[in-house]
Amino acid sequence: MADPASTTVVDGMDAYGPRVCDDMTVEVALAVMAGARVESLTVCDGDDQSTGSITLARLAVLRASSTYTDRIRLRDVLGSRLRPVPVRG
């Protein structure tokens, strides 16, 4: 019988998607999600400790907001310093 623990982690991916560093920009994170075909990423600090997870939906809302710049990093999004402002058309 296979060890059940060995089926929970595959190639650095866990229940919350691939692990990425919190200094990654939103643009790069969106590219990673598209390439990995995942809906979320596990975000880690410089010590490789998980600081949370981020979803594709949350990043898409942020990217579409008027406050978005290509300099925003995942740590900024998780730190809740950013509140997306809807784009008005």
* DSSP class of 64: H
Q: What is the pLDDT of residues 41-61, one digit of tens each?
A: 999 998 999 999 999 999 999
Map tokens 């809302």 to a residue: 61
The mean pLDDT values, 10 residues at a time, for the chain of 89 residues are 39 65 95 95 92 93 92 87 49
C-alpha 17/C-alpha 37 separation (Å) is 10
List phi, psi (to 5°) of 84: -60, 135
Would you say the pTM of this structure is higher than 0.75? no
